[in-house]
C-alpha cells in the first residue's frame, strides 16, 4: 500500500491532506474532530493582534449549478474573532495531544517588524510545526492594510518574509493571493525573502450573486453587500494554473508548494500534486460535507497510487509540470478529427448544433429513412473538441489522431508565422 506521509519543509504529516486556514480550523473543538476523522494537518485559522476582529451576521454566499449546491462559495469573514491567548492555549494543547499531525499557524498582523516578531515568539511557544503568512485575505483585512494589501505588493511580501525568517526557526509558508495579474511576482518575492514554501490560492475577489429583489449582492447584510472571497470547486482551474506557473518558473527555484483551491476529493489532490505540490489544503469541501470526506481522499489517493505503482508522494509529484508549456511550444502539425460512434449515439444533436452555430459547420444533420444521423465532415473539422465536450454520452465522440507524417513543428518554426524563426 502506498505511503501517503510527507515531509513538507521539514513538517511531518501522515498524509498530504490539510485543512486550510478557515472556520474548520478556528478552534480546538473543530481541529480535534478533524484529526479524529483522519486529516493529516491543519493550518490554524489566521491569528491577529488583540483586540480580536468582529464579524458581521450573514457571511457566506454561494453559486449553485443545476441543483448542485456550492459549486462556488464566498465569504466576507475576517480572521479569527477570538482572543489571541485562547487560540494559543488551544494550539498548545492540540499539538501536545496530536504529535503526529501537522499544526501550522496562520498569521496576519500589521506590516511592521515588531508585531510580526512578537507574535512569532508566542506561536513558537505553542510547539506548532510552522507558520503560514496570510497575504491573501481579499476583504476587510486588506482595507486595514493587511492580507492581500500586502500580498499584492511583491516588495512587502519579501520584506515581511525576511522579518519572519529572521525571528523564527519555524518553517515559513507564504500564502499567496490570486488577486494579482502575475502570481509569479509575489512567489518570486517570497523566494527572495527566504520562504520555505508557498501556499495558494487564497480566495478571489468576488460577488457571487445579486439578489434581484433586494438589488444587492449576496451575502446581504441589512440590504448591502461587500465583495467577498471566492473559493470552492469553481476556482480549481484558476488555482491549478497559478500553481503550474510557479512550479515551472525558474526564478521560483522549485519552491515547495501547498496547493489550495477547490480541492474536494483525492483526484483533485492528485492533480495538484502532479503539478509539484507536496501537500494540499481544503476548506469549502469540508465546510459543505464535514470532515469525513478525508476518508475518500486517503483511500482514493492510496488506491490510485497503488494502481499506478507509485509508492510515495514524490514518485508522482511534479510529473505533469514539464508538460505544462507555452502555447508557442505546441505542435502545429498535430491533427485530430472528431469520430462519432453511431452505436452509442442517442441523437440529441448537440454535436451538430454546437459546431453548426458556434464553430466550424463540421457535423451534418440528416435523416435517413426518418432516422436522425449526425456525421463529421473531416474537411471542415479543426479538431477543437467542442462536440466531444458537449456530447452527453461518454466515449460517444472521440478525437482521433490523423497520421499526416509531419514532424513536430511549433509556431516559432511555422512558415505561416510572419515572425517565424524557422531555417529557410
* Residues recognised as catalytic: 137
Minimum CB separation from ligand SF4 for residue 401, in Å?
13
Q: Contact at 8 Å (CB) between 138 and 146? A: no
Q: Contact at 8 Å (CB) between 269 and 8? A: no
Within 8 A by CB and 6+ apart from 354, the residues are: 386, 387, 390
Measured between alpha carbons, how far is 340 from 381 in angstroms, rounded to an integer?
12
CA angle 266, 21, 300 (to 5 degrees): 10
CA dihedral 14, 20, 26, 32 (to 10 degrees): -20
Q: Which does 359 bind (CB under 5 to 8 A by kind): other proteins, ligand FMN, ligand SF4, none?
A: ligand SF4
Q: Is residue 346 a contact point for other proteins (CB under 8 A)?
A: yes
Minimum CB separation from other proteins for residue 16, in Å?
34
Q: Is residue 313 a contact point for ligand SF4 (CB under 6 A)?
A: no
Cα 8 to the center of its chain, rounded Å: 18
Q: Is residue 368 a contact point for other proteins (CB under 8 A)?
A: no
Cis peptide leading into residue 72 (ω within 30°):
no
Q: Which does 261 bind (CB under 5 to 8 A by kind): ligand FMN, other proteins, ligand SF4, none?
A: ligand FMN
Q: Is residue 350 a contact point for other proteins (CB under 8 A)?
A: yes
Minimum CB separation from ligand FMN for residue 350, in Å?
30
How many of the chain's residues bind ligand FMN (CB under 6 A)?
29
Residue of the chain from 153, 207, 348, 377 that contacts other proteins (CB under 8 A): 348
Q: Contact at 8 Å (CB) between 131 and 105? A: yes
Q: Is residue 334 a contact point for ligand SF4 (CB under 6 A)?
A: no
Measured between alpha carbons, how far is 379 from 346 in angstroms, rounded to an integer?
24
| Contact map string, positions 98 to 137, toward ligand FMN, x by CB under 6 A | --------x---------------------------x-xx
| Contact map string, positions 363 to 402, toward ligand SF4, x by CB under 6 A | x----------x-x----xxxxxxx--xx-x--xx-----
* Sole residue written with cell 480535534: 32
Binding site for other proteins (CB under 8 A): 66-67, 346-350, 352-353, 365, 372, 392-393
Amino acid at each position: 500500500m502506498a505511503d501517503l506521509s510527507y515531509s513538507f519543509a521539514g513538517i511531518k504529516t501522515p498524509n498530504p491532506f490539510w485543512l486550510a486556514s478557515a472556520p474548520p480550523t478556528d478552534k480546538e473543538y473543530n481541529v480535534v474532530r478533524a484529526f479524529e476523522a483522519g486529516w493529516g494537518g491543519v493550518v490554524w485559522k489566521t491569528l491577529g493582534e488583540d483586540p480580536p476582529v468582529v464579524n458581521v451576521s450573514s457571511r457566506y454566499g454561494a453559486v449553485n449549478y443545476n441543483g448542485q449546491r456550492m459549486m462556488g462559495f464566498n465569504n466576507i469573514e475576517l480572521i479569527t474573532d477570538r482572543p489571541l491567548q485562547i487560540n494559543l492555549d488551544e494550539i498548545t494543547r492540540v499539538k501536545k495531544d496530536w504529535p503526529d499531525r501537522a499544526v501550522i499557524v496562520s498569521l496576519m498582523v500589521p506590516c511592521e517588524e515588531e508585531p510580526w516578531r512578537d507574535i512569532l515568539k508566542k506561536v513558537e511557544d505553542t510547539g506548532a510545526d510552522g507558520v503560514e503568512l496570510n497575504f491573501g485575505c481579499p476583504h476587510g483585512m486588506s482595507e486595514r492594510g493587511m492580507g492581500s494589501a500586502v500580498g499584492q505588493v511583491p516588495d512587502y511580501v519579501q520584506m515581511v518574509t525576511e522579518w519572519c525568517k529572521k525571528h523564527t526557526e519555524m518553517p515559513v509558508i507564504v500564502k499567496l493571493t490570486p488577486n494579482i495579474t502575475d502570481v509569479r511576482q509575489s512567489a518570486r518575492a517570497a523566494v527572495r525573502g527566504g520562504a520555505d514554501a508557498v501556499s495558494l490560492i487564497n480566495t478571489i475577489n468576488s460577488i457571487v450573486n445579486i439578489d434581484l429583489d433586494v438589488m444587492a449582492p449576496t451575502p446581504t447584510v441589512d440590504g448591502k453587500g461587500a465583495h467577498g472571497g471566492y473559493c470552492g470547486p469553481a476556482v480549481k482551474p484558476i488555482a491549478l494554473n497559478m500553481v503550474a506557473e510557479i512550479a515551472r518558473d525558474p526564478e521560483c527555484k522549485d519552491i515547495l508548494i501547498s496547493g489550495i483551491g477547490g480541492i474536494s476529493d483525492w483526484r483533485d489532490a492528485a492533480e495538484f500534486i502532479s503539478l509539484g505540490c507536496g501537500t494540499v489544503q481544503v476548506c469549502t469541501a469540508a465546510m459543505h460535507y464535514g470532515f469525513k470526506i478525508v476518508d475518500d481522499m486517503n483511500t482514493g489517493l492510496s488506491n490510485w497510487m497503488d494502481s499506478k505503482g507509485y509508492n510515495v508522494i514524490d514518485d508522482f509529484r511534479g510529473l505533469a509540470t514539464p508538460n505544462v508549456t507555452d502555447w508557442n511550444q505546441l505542435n502545429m502539425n498535430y491533427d485530430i478529427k472528431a469520430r462519432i460512434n453511431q452505436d452509442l449515439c442517442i441523437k440529441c444533436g448537440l454535436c451538430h448544433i454546437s459546431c453548426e452555430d458556434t464553430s466550424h459547420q463540421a457535423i451534418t444533420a440528416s435523416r435517413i429513412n426518418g432516422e436522425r444521423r449526425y456525421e463529421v465532415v473531416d474537411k471542415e473539422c479543426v479538431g477543437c473538441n467542442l462536440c466531444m465536450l458537449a456530447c452527453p454520452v461518454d466515449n460517444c465522440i472521440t478525437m482521433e489522431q490523423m497520421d499526416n507524417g509531419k514532424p513536430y513543428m511549433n509556431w516559432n518554426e511555422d512558415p505561416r508565422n510572419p515572425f517565424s524563426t524557422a531555417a529557410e
